[in-house]
Structure 1
Amino acid sequence: MDDPNAPAGQDWGPFGRPLFNDPSSRALSRVGVVDIGSNSVRMVVFDGAARSPAYFFNEKIMCALGAGLSETGRLNPEGRVRALAAMRRFQRLAEGMDMPPLTAVATAAVREAEDGPDFVAEVERETGVKIFVIDGEEEARLSAQGVLLGWPGSYGLVCDIGGSSMELAEIAGGAVKRRVTSKLGPLKLKDVPGGKKGRREYIADTVAELAEVMGSQRNRLFLVGGSWRAIARVDMERRGYPLHVLHEYRMTRKSVSATLAYIAETDPDELRKRCGLSAQRMALVPLAGEVLKQVVKTFQPHDIAVSSYGIREGMLYEQMPQKLRERDPLIEASYFSEAKDARLPGFGRSLYQFVLPLFKSAPLERKRLIKAACLMHDVSWRAHPDYRAEACFDNVTRANLGGLRHSERVFLGLSLLHRYRNSRSGTRFEPMFDLLDEKSMKEAEILGKAMRFGAMLWPQNDQPIGELRWFPKKKFLQLFLEQDSEALFGEVAEARFKSLAKSLDAETEVKIRRATRPHQP
């Protein structure tokens, strides 16, 4: 077991020791937030490892509070009734979960409606939940913080679209910089006079004004919001993309243009059914697409990334101590997963040290994946042996993990598949392997087989599990075992060692370190 009192950095490698055991992190173990937007009201309860939390509860009610706001100046009456009912339900659920009071924020529709203050007072009176009505710049800041929850230290332009507004925020060096808000939400655009031509002129003029404030932003464009995610879903459908995980999905300016044209020429009902979108969401997609087209044309980002993390995750990030914000979300989630589900919590660290000689020249980005794989190598042991390899791949590629590109998800999944299975051929996951180059596929296989062998050498009385020495130029692999561990190197372990050597195309040598007898006078 890992020693929670060990000094920071001792034997933990470049990624440090897990912080989810720290008291300040445990206080964040279950946090409930509510986002009252112009289109939907959503409650999310985060749980698990504080730096990379799981979605313990997630429910959305499409209320369309902002529908008709431009004409009446008031919240949609039907939507207001639905939103109040949703808040009653959410508060009762929170009480049943025995957690701290809900943190609730309201955005464009409530802040702009003349009856917004009355709605806020009614909710507090009926439920006891205090709603914080935030301005557009604060909305932009929280959404950008949500992106930072998933991508610590990332840089670029965060673009968050809601029903009644669109916000832009600059992130650099792990901090939120310039930010600005606009009325470019699809519900507002419905009411722009002049038809399609008038709407396009209005969008172009507004985005130009935003660009004057934000300056040149040609790095990465992070897309936050349900309408952007819907467009990304259509892009996946159009491309036949094999991994249906929206978070960290990447698009180019060219693919965005092709997808917007595809949306315009395809029957909306047919498209929404194929992509699993609601009718309410699909109705907003063409309008949101007009905005995205202009944003991409104006800022010309070098690539475009979809973020499933936004304002709600930003509210969680707001409550984190700085030392927790700076942690790697993937490694923290892996530590938590091991502590919760592994047969021998703490063994992942020893396994990492054991396999690391095979990857001495690997960059830090690869070593963090190797670390994560070793920590999670045994968390699916309860699955039926016939399906354990597939369960590992499924769990990792589809899990809610931050700081992980799609190719990295597949690398992790493939390495864990090889942890339980020598061959990757014949699985239903083969289309996803196209997201990796040949070198990465080979490295994932080697890592998986090294973990498969290392798992046979569980330590006794905290002794090292053994030592691998790899000489890549000579294609020579040595295994050193202590005398007390020699018995662990049985027939199955030897077969797994030979399988690893075969993947390395290596000759092998096994050495037993004999204990030296004390000199007798």
Structure 2
Amino acid sequence: MTTRVAAIDCGTNSIRLLVADLPDPSAGAQAPLVDLTRRMEIVRLGQGVDRTGRLAPEAIERTRVALADYAAEIEKLGAERVRMCATSASRDAANAGDFRAMVEQTLGVAPEVVTGDEEARLSFTGAVRGLPADAEPPYLVVDIGGGSTEFVVGTREGGVQAAISMDIGCVRMTERHLHGDPPTLDEIAAAQADIAVAVDRALEAVPGRQAATLVGLAGSVTTVVAIAQGLTEYDPERIHHARVSYDRVADVTADLLAKSREQRLAVPVMHPGRADVIGAGALVLRVIMERAGMPSVVASEHDILDGIAWSLAPQDRRR
């Protein structure tokens, strides 16, 4: 028997919904979940958090509007179990209680403000199921979010071996360093130096330089990969498990950082809500590949959202 579940991932930049049917245990350990709907809205919950330490009231309201729409979709599709995980922005905020109260009133369940370690485990679970045969373990999975980036090393069979979360997300780095339109060379250099320090610390902690395959998650990675492939529209099927070289990532990153916001908006695959932060997200990916010595990255459209969905399965279905 399948189990219908709803997973919500509320990050610093976006809020996403997945309603899916989990397979019957008899289908085998690698049987996929079956999507009913995947949705994403850019709500910028983490607007200004790095500077003020608080969630802005207008950011909470944007999130409430999107969440109310998701709640109606969940009810319509008849999900049996619902889990919402809130990540970096609501971990950092002094007024996280306001956010929690809004979620409970709107969705009917409390948000789980997951730790960096739990966020990493969920991302890894979602990412490694179904990886192609040429993706050699151990894997270094990096989830580049708005406020933080998770680094996880492990294998499909053994699970997570080590994980760490670093405060180098695309929104945080943009707000901290990339103020020009386009950013100046000095701003880019400052961001790169900040990112490199955090990446080196993360790669020593996990340890990421011993991994054989880099797997990249979230919108910064998939957007860079879509641009590198020359796609004229965003196509998740062509992006999922595509492999892109370091040289192509470096070229795309340099091009994005040289463009104004208006020019980035004109890129065919660009989501309007990502245009102002994609330069920083691409820079985080490029620095990770450089410091880890990774010749390529494998993009995954499956990430923490899928991990949240799998976490709602009975224990014997999760591995």
Q: Place the TM-score, normalised by the shorter chain, in its bin.
A: 0.7 to 0.9
**Partner residue, 2:288:** 295
Describe the superposition over 1:104-148 as per-residue Cα deviations: whole angstroms up to 9, x where unpaired. Answer: 110000111111122112321343122111011111111001012
**Partner residue, 1:59:** 39
Higher relative contact order (CA 8 A, sep 6+): 2
How many angstroms does 1:324 deviate by?
Answer: 4.5
Assess, with a 3 A threshold, how the Cα gap between structure 1 residues 173 and 43 changes in structure 2: closer, same or farther: closer
**Partner residue, 2:183:** none
- Which structure has the highest strand share of the two? 2
Matched, 1:162 2:169: no
How many angstroms does 1:290 deviate by?
Answer: 1.7
Assess, with a 3 A threshold, how the Cα gap between structure 1 residues 154 and 321 changes in structure 2: closer, same or farther: farther
Assess, with a 3 A threshold, how the Cα gap between structure 1 residues 299 and 145 changes in structure 2: closer, same or farther: same
Of the three residues 288, 298, 305, the one matched with 1:305 is 298
Matched, 1:196 2:179: no
**Partner residue, 2:242:** 249
Matched, 1:236 2:229: yes
**Partner residue, 1:114:** 94
Matched, 1:213 2:205: yes
Assess, with a 3 A threshold, how the Cα gap between structure 1 residues 239 and 96 changes in structure 2: closer, same or farther: closer
Find the aligned partners of 1:213 and 1:178 in 2 and give their Cα distance.
8
Describe the superposition over 1:405-434 as per-residue Cα deviations: whole angstroms up to 9, x where unpaired. Answer: xxxxxxxxxxxxxxxxxxxxxxxxxxxxxx
How many angstroms does 1:321 deviate by?
Answer: 5.2
Q: Which runs of 5+ in 2 are unaligned?
A: 25-30, 178-185
Find the aligned partners of 1:156 and 1:106 in 2 and give their Cα distance.
25
**Partner residue, 2:74:** 94
Task: Check the 8 A contact 1:169/1:177 in 2, yes or no.
Answer: yes
Matched, 1:36 2:10: yes
Give percent identity, aligned residues only. 25
**Partner residue, 1:133:** 113
What pairs with 1:14-53 in structure 2 (closer than 5 Å)? 23=1, 26=2, 28=3, 30-47=4-21, 49=23, 51-53=31-33
SS of 2:78's equivalent in the other structure is coil
How many angstroms does 1:254 deviate by?
Answer: 2.1
Instruction: Return the letter of the residue paired with 1:55.
Output: D
Find the aligned partners of 1:150 and 1:301 in 2 and give their Cα distance.
21
Describe the superposition over 1:10-29 as per-residue Cα deviations: whole angstroms up to 9, x where unpaired. Answer: xxxxxxxxxxxxx4xx2x2x
**Partner residue, 1:277:** 270
Matched, 1:70 2:50: yes
Describe the superposition over 1:265-309 as per-residue Cα deviations: whole angstroms up to 9, x where unpaired. Answer: 556545543432122212111111221221111111243100101
What pairs with 1:389-468 in structure 2 (closer than 5 Å)? none
Find the aligned partners of 2:241 and 2:223 in 1 and give their Cα distance.
14
Task: Check the 8 A contact 2:311/2:318 in 1, yes or no.
Answer: no
Find the aligned partners of 1:76 and 1:41 in 2 and give their Cα distance.
16
Find the aligned partners of 1:67 and 1:89 in 2 and give their Cα distance.
21
Assess, with a 3 A threshold, how the Cα gap between structure 1 residues 170 and 239 changes in structure 2: closer, same or farther: farther
Find the aligned partners of 2:81 and 2:315 in 1 and give their Cα distance.
22
Assess, with a 3 A threshold, how the Cα gap between structure 1 residues 271 and 38 changes in structure 2: closer, same or farther: closer
Assess, with a 3 A threshold, how the Cα gap between structure 1 residues 63 and 36 changes in structure 2: closer, same or farther: same
Task: Check the 8 A contact 2:22/2:313 in 1, yes or no.
Answer: no
How many angstroms does 1:243 deviate by?
Answer: 9.8
Task: Check the 8 A contact 2:153/2:161 in 1, yes or no.
Answer: yes
Matched, 1:172 2:155: yes
Find the aligned partners of 1:71 and 1:268 in 2 and give their Cα distance.
22
Task: Check the 8 A contact 1:263/1:286 in 2, yes or no.
Answer: yes
Matched, 1:185 2:165: no
Find the aligned partners of 2:296 and 2:107 in 1 and give their Cα distance.
44
Assess, with a 3 A threshold, how the Cα gap between structure 1 residues 141 and 254 changes in structure 2: closer, same or farther: same
Aligned length: 299
How many angstroms does 1:196 deviate by?
Answer: 2.9
Of the three residues 238, 254, 258, the one matched with 2:251 is 258
How many angstroms does 1:63 deviate by?
Answer: 0.8
Instruction: Return the letter of the residue paired with 1:180.
Output: I
Find the aligned partners of 2:212 and 2:58 in 1 and give their Cα distance.
42
Instruction: Return the letter of the residue paired with 1:165.
Output: S
Assess, with a 3 A threshold, how the Cα gap between structure 1 residues 243 and 46 changes in structure 2: closer, same or farther: closer
How many angstroms does 1:55 deviate by?
Answer: 2.1
Assess, with a 3 A threshold, how the Cα gap between structure 1 residues 173 and 42 changes in structure 2: closer, same or farther: closer
Find the aligned partners of 1:320 and 1:126 in 2 and give their Cα distance.
24
How many angstroms does 1:160 deviate by?
Answer: 0.2
Find the aligned partners of 1:265 and 1:44 in 2 and give their Cα distance.
35
- State the superposition RMSD in angstroms: 2.6
How many angstroms does 1:36 deviate by?
Answer: 0.9
Q: Who wins on radius of gyration, i.e. which is larger?
A: 1
SS of 2:32's equivalent in the other structure is coil
Describe the superposition over 1:292-332 as per-residue Cα deviations: whole angstroms up to 9, x where unpaired. Answer: 22111111124310010111101122234576456xxxxxx
State which drifts further: 100-109 or 274-283.
Answer: 274-283
Of the three residues 123, 126, 140, the one matched with 1:146 is 126
Find the aligned partners of 1:264 and 1:108 in 2 and give their Cα distance.
24
Instruction: Return the letter of the residue paired with 2:8.
Output: V
Task: Check the 8 A contact 1:104/1:130 in 2, yes or no.
Answer: yes
Assess, with a 3 A threshold, how the Cα gap between structure 1 residues 243 and 145 changes in structure 2: closer, same or farther: closer
